[in-house]
């Protein structure tokens, strides 16, 4: 069995070591752009194995170039080392190759802690206490009523359902929105476009955990965000292209929205001159709400490769038509 590793901006060595330890019979190679074409100073091929002569059965990928897909003609499955496959699905992929996303592998708990932290920060008005401390001012704020601080989670998949569950630990009322009907304990579930307005009206805080697809791109816009109650908050931890940035700024500046916590952006890294950085009611983090955990990811991918080789079904197979 051969495995190709093609992850931009990722140091390959620890991944290769980990995969080798899990799958000792595997031959594993790092795919390099121009491997076959770039000679070394000694005039020898730069890589021991040119990617085109190494035809892998499986690939572990993050943001692979189209040339990688075009060269690897025998792939049975592509394992994406993240949950979002929007970038991968933009490539021309052979229809017979399975696209497999990471499911959880240590990301759900991180997402739950990030979102709970942001919600609690708003609910307890902690930013105001930060300001009061700067001014050495001992100033209580009137407690808010939890029952009037509903949190709406867009997307009730692997991450959204974990976030919905975690928020309930703090007794926030939780709404959820998905494409197909869901029954999650304690979550008021809304389904499909027709129930989106009611979901938005009922959600003081909007948490976005949708995949980026043609149906969800630009979903957070002036029209939808205006349907949140006055003084609402937005937490975007899914993809930057879900949000129409000017519309968010207009609604914050008009006072309809009270704040936004943004982890993902249309352009990443967020350019230094971008208005989000300095906006008093926007919190920016650098796409870090749920990071890929290497050991958990390797164990999950190796387990799925073993299952596929044994002819067993696996979780996390993406439907390219659906886009997630």
Q: Which of 115, 237, 258, 302 binds ligand NAP (CB under 6 A)?
A: 237
Going across the sheet that includes 232-236, the strands are: 187-191, 174-178, 151-154, 205-208, 232-236, 257-262, 282-284
Q: Does 157 bind ligand NAP (CB under 6 A)?
A: yes
CB of 132 to ligand NAP, least distance (A): 31
Q: For tokens 């914050």, name the residue.
A: 252
Spatial CA neighbour of 256 closest among 216, 289, 225, 283: 225
CB of 187 to ligand NAP, least distance (A): 11
Q: Does 180 bind ligand NAP (CB under 6 A)?
A: yes
Q: Which of 59, 77, 151, 209 binds ligand NAP (CB under 6 A)?
A: 209
Nearer to ligand NAP, 75 or 210 (CB): 210
- As a residue count, the chain comes to 324
95-114: which residues touch ligand NAP (CB under 6 A)?
107
Strands (E), 91-161: 98-100, 151-154
- Any long-range contacts for 196-199 (C-beta under 8 Å, 24+ apart)? 196/224, 197/227, 199/152, 199/175
Q: Does 236 bind ligand NAP (CB under 6 A)?
A: no
Check: CB of residue 4 under 8 Å from CB of residue 60.
yes
Strands 2-7 and 187-191: unpaired
Segment interacting with ligand NAP, rule: CB under 6 A, options 37-45, 145-153, 175-183, 254-262: 175-183
Nearer to ligand NAP, 6 or 107 (CB): 107
Q: Does 293 bind ligand NAP (CB under 6 A)?
A: no
Segment interacting with ligand NAP, rule: CB under 6 A, options 221-229, 237-245, 253-261, 266-274: 237-245
Nearer to ligand NAP, 32 or 227 (CB): 227
Nearer to ligand NAP, 211 or 259 (CB): 211
Check: CB of residue 241 under 8 Å from CB of residue 213.
no
Q: How far apart are CA 88 and CA 21, in angstroms?
A: 27
CB of 99 to ligand NAP, least distance (A): 12
Question: Total binding residues for ligand NAP by CB under 6 A?
Answer: 30
Q: Which residues contact 170 (CB under 8 A, 6 or more apart)?
A: 116, 119, 120, 146
Cα atoms in the 13 Å half-sphere on the side-chain side of 76:
12
Q: How far apart are CA 151 and CA 170, in angstroms?
A: 11
Q: Does 156 bind ligand NAP (CB under 6 A)?
A: yes
Segment interacting with ligand NAP, rule: CB under 6 A, options 8-16, 44-52, 81-89, 302-310: 81-89
Q: Does 263 bind ligand NAP (CB under 6 A)?
A: yes
Q: Does 7 bind ligand NAP (CB under 6 A)?
A: no
CB of 40 to ligand NAP, least distance (A): 37
DSSP character for 9?
A: T
> Residue number with the shortest CB distance to ligand NAP?
157
Check: CB of residue 181 under 8 Å from CB of residue 189.
yes
**CA dist 305 → 78, 118, 148 (Å):** 10, 37, 47
Q: How far apart are CA 322 and CA 92, in angstroms?
A: 16
Q: Which residues are catalytic?
A: 239, 287
Nearer to ligand NAP, 239 or 304 (CB): 239
Segment interacting with ligand NAP, rule: CB under 6 A, options 14-22, 37-45, 116-124, 284-292: 284-292
Q: How far apart are CA 206 and CA 231, in angstroms?
A: 12
User: Which residues make up the interface to ligand NAP (CB under 6 A)?
Assistant: 82-84, 107, 155-160, 177-180, 209-213, 215-216, 237-239, 263-264, 287, 289-290, 324
């Amino acid at each position: 069995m051969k495995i190709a590793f093609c992850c931009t901006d990722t140091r390959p060595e620890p991944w290769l070591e980990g995969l080798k330890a899990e799958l000792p019979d595997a031959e594993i190679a790092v795919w390099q752009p121009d491997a076959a074409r770039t000679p070394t100073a000694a005039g020898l091929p730069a890589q021991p194995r040119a990617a085109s002569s190494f035809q892998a059965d499986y690939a572990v990928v993050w943001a692979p170039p189209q040339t990688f897909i075009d060269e690897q003609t025998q792939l049975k499955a592509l394992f994406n080392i993240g949950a979002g496959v929007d970038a991968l699905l933009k490539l021309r992929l052979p229809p017979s190759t399975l696209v497999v996303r990471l499911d959880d592998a240590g990301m759900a708990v991180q997402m739950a802690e990030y979102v709970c932290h942001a919600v609690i920060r708003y609910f307890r008005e902690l930013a105001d206490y930060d300001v009061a401390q700067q001014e050495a001012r001992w100033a209580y704020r009137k407690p808010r009523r939890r029952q009037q601080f509903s949190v709406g989670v867009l997307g009730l998949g692997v991450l959204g359902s974990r976030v919905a569950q975690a928020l309930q630990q703090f007794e926030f009322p939780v709404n959820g929105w998905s494409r197909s009907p869901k029954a999650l304990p304690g979550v008021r579930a809304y389904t499909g476009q027709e129930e989106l307005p009611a979901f938005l009206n009922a959600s003081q805080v909007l948490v976005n955990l949708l995949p980026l697809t043609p149906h969800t791109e630009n979903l957070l816009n002036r029209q939808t965000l205006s349907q949140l109650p006055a003084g609402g908050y937005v937490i975007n931890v899914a993809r930057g292209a879900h949000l129409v940035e000017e519309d968010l700024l207009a609604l914050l500046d008009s006072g309809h929205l009270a704040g936004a916590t943004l982890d993902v952006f249309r352009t990443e890294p967020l350019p230094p001159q971008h208005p989000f950085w300095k906006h008093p009611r926007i919190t920016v983090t650098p796409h870090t709400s749920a990071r890929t955990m290497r050991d958990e990811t390797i164990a999950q991918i190796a387990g799925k490769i073993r299952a596929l080789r044994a002819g067993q079904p696996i979780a996390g197979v993406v439907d390219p038509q659906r886009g997630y």
